[in-house]
Structure formats: C-alpha cells, structure tokens
Amino acid sequence: MYFNGLPERDARAALQRCCGARRWVDEMLAARPFASDAVLLAHAARVWWALGREDWLEAFARHPRIGERTAEQWSRREQAGVDTAPAATRAALARENLAYTERFGYLFLTCATGKTAGEMLGELRRRLAHDPATELRIAAGEQAKITRLRLEKLVSP
C-alpha cells in the first residue's frame, strides 16, 4: 500500500493536506501500517468523529473560503464550480460567507466537489438558519466528506 511506504515526514504532510486537525494527523500516523486502503478510510472516519469541537475548528480553519483564490491544487479543483459563476453569484457567496462566519465563528465549509456556485450559495443560505450545535455537526460532516475524497486521491496516486 502506497501510504504505508511513505517516510513519516511525507506521510504527515500528505495527511495534513487531507485534514488540518493535528490530532487527527497524529492518530492516523500512529495507526500505520494499514492493512488496506479500506481500513485506512474507515480508521480516518472513526478518528475524525472521536475528535472534539476544537479539533474540528482547527481543520475548518485550514480551508480557503468558498470562492477565495488559493494556490492549493485540491481546493482549486474542488471549488471549480465557482470559477465560471456570474459576478453577482460570486459577490453573494462572499457576503454570505461573512454572515456565516459572524454567526458561527468559523468559515462555511461544504464538500464543493461537483457543485455549482449557485448550489453552494443555496446551501450556505439554508445552513445560516441552523442553530450553532446543529451547524457544527453538519460542518464536521462536510469535513469528513472532504477528508475521504482527499484520502482516496492520496492512496491512488
């Protein structure tokens, strides 16, 4: 399995690209070697859901805002639906992102892969109505989806 063969420094960097929570990365590294890619993916999910609010917020903070330009290749591809959006939609995303951050204290996080800018904007607006506890759990679920997609890219280089 490719991931098991990486030196620890490289494995740490690869995992950090998948999820920005240090505790998650440390626990994933400590669990190596994995018997299979499926075992790695299952363990990643278990570790993620065992973490707490501060760990989740740390992971969220490592993402660019939806629509924000970034040099990070995976984020750019994941948010490609924003690139061709009308200026009004991009401006609305920027405004609503700020409203979301003011309401919840962290940036809006969604698994943007395959979504249009309009779909992301609609989701952002719907989620603004949630109570903080519900929204934190939803955002954590979106991070879990992002992490899984990135891990799948990692183990299938």
Q: Per-residue pLDDT tens for 136-157?
A: 999 999 999 999 999 999 988 6
| pLDDT tens figures, 110-142 | 998 888 889 999 999 999 999 999 999 999 999
**Is residue 77 scored above 60 in pLDDT?**
no
pLDDT at 30: 97
**Higher-confidence position of 44 and 70:** 44
User: What is the pLDDT at residue 68?
Assistant: 63
pLDDT on residue 67: 66
| Per-residue CA distances from 52 to 6, 93, 149 (Å) | 28, 28, 21
CATH number for 138? 1.10.3330.10
**Is 80 a residue whose pLDDT tops 70?**
no
For 7-31, write each residue's pLDDT tens digit: 999 999 999 999 999 999 999 999 9
Q: Domain residues for 67?
A: 3-155
Q: Does residue 63 have an active-site annotation?
A: yes
Whole-model pTM? 0.88
- To which H or E segment does residue 8 belong? helix 8-18
Rounded mean pLDDT of the chain?
Answer: 90
Confidence at residue 27, expressed as pLDDT on a 0 to 100 scale: 98
pLDDT tens-place string over residues 94-111: 899 999 999 999 999 999
Nearest to 25 by CA among 36, 34, 14, 38: 14
Tally of CB atoms within 10 A around 40: 21
Are residues 110 and 75 in contact, defined by beta-carbon separation less than 8 angstroms? no
Is the distance from CB of 24 to CB of 48 less than 8 angstroms?
yes
Contact 59, 25 (CB under 8 A): no
Q: With 0-12 CB in 10 A as exposed, 13-18 as middle and 19+ as buried, what is 153?
A: middle
Count of H helices and E strands in the chain? 9, 0
d(CA 46, CA 74): 23
How many structural domains compose the chain? 1
Q: Spell 69-108 as b/e; 16+ CB within 10 A means b.
A: eeeeebbeebbebbeebeeebbebbeebbeebeeebebbb
Among 24, 34, 63, 100, which one carries the catalytic annotation? 63
